[in-house]
Amino acid sequence: MIRVLIADDHHLFREGLTRILDDEDNIMVVASLRSGEEVLAAVSSHRPDVVVLDVNMPGMGGIEAARRLRKHYPDLGILMLTVSEDRETLFTAVQAGVRGYLLKSSTSDELVDAIYRVQRGEAAISPAMSAKLLDEFVALSQGRRQRPEDVLTERERAILRYVANGMSNKEIGLALSISPHTVKAHLRHILDKLGLRSRTQAAAWAERHGLTAGNDRLA
């Protein structure tokens, strides 16, 4: 029996997943939660074999939860189930220790198969994302990844570092002695420079390029 813990901030989606998985003879959903913090608190008591996480959740998201779970539970199977088709998010999730990355457009059979594969220690990546992952590895091998200092100013790198650490515009403004409006304007320019669409993608980019606490100095 494979014990599965689900984390997603949409209640109806969690209910649907639970029904699908409970119909499987060899799978049992042991908990249905809504945030990364709840997952970290529940894993030791529920002892799941596989954790299914959404990328974006209130408070701690799926990628940070995966990173912490991998550190404390190295044998735990971690499957990301998300709408995000962004290459940056995919690569950051893999770096965080997930063994599976499945899109929410996947079928129930694909989800069940991914859970079995992840539980066995195998990789399970949506076909639509596999090519993007390979493209990223090619970019790495050819040294074509952008360096933060090549594309961002020192102030922009500082702001992006705070974004990666989960700080709000108001908190960033206080740290840098600028207004939240100015922070928002800087972030808009950062997104334009990097070709990104959201704050989540910016945080993922920062994680991948080392712009986290202690790795970049303030402007």
What pLDDT does 120 receive?
96
Percent of the chain scoring above 70 in pLDDT: 88
User: Taking the CB of residue 87, how many other CB atoms lie within 10 A of it?
Assistant: 17
What pLDDT does 215 receive?
45
**CATH topology for the 2-140 domain:** Rossmann fold (3.40.50)
User: Taking the CB of residue 46, how many other CB atoms lie within 10 A of it?
Assistant: 16
- Asked whether 86 and 111 are in contact (CB, 8 A), the reply is no
pLDDT (mean) for 22-40: 95
- Give residue-wise pLDDT tens across range 43-60: 999 999 999 999 988 888
Report the half-sphere exposure of 186 (CA within 13 A, side-chain side). 23
pLDDT (mean) for 2-15: 96
**Mean pLDDT over all residues of the chain?**
86
Cα dist from 103 to 35, 182, 194, whole Å: 19, 35, 24
What pLDDT does 140 receive?
56
What pLDDT does 218 receive?
37
Q: What sign for the dihedral angle of Cα 196, 200, 204, 207? A: positive
What pLDDT does 219 receive?
38
Residue 96 Cα to chain centre, angstroms: 8
pLDDT (mean) for 158-180: 92
- Give residue-wise pLDDT tens across range 84-129: 887 778 888 888 899 999 999 999 999 999 999 999 999 999 887 8
Residue 50 pairs in a beta bridge with 4, 77
What pLDDT does 196 receive?
76
Every domain range in the chain assigned CATH 3.40.50.2300? 2-140
- DSSP conformation letters of 58-94: SSS-HHHHHHHHHHH-TT-EEEEEES---HHHHHHHH
Give the burial string for 49-66 (b: 16+ CB within 10 Å, else e): bbbbbbbebeebbbbbbb
pTM of the predicted model, to two decimals? 0.67
Indicate the burial class of 199 (C-beta count within 10 angstroms; 0-12, 13-18, 19 or more): middle
Residue 171 Cα to chain centre, angstroms: 22
**CATH topology for the 148-208 domain:** Arc Repressor Mutant, subunit A (1.10.10)
Confidence tier at 217 by pLDDT (50, 70, 90): very low
- Give residue-wise pLDDT tens across range 180-209: 999 999 998 888 777 677 888 888 888 877
Cα dist from 207 to 107, 113, 130, 215, 216, whole Å: 30, 30, 21, 10, 12
Rg (CA), the chain: 18
User: What are 145's two structure tokens?
Assistant: 């990844």
Q: Is the pLDDT of residue 145 over 70?
A: no
Every domain range in the chain assigned CATH 1.10.10.10? 148-208
What pLDDT does 117 receive?
96
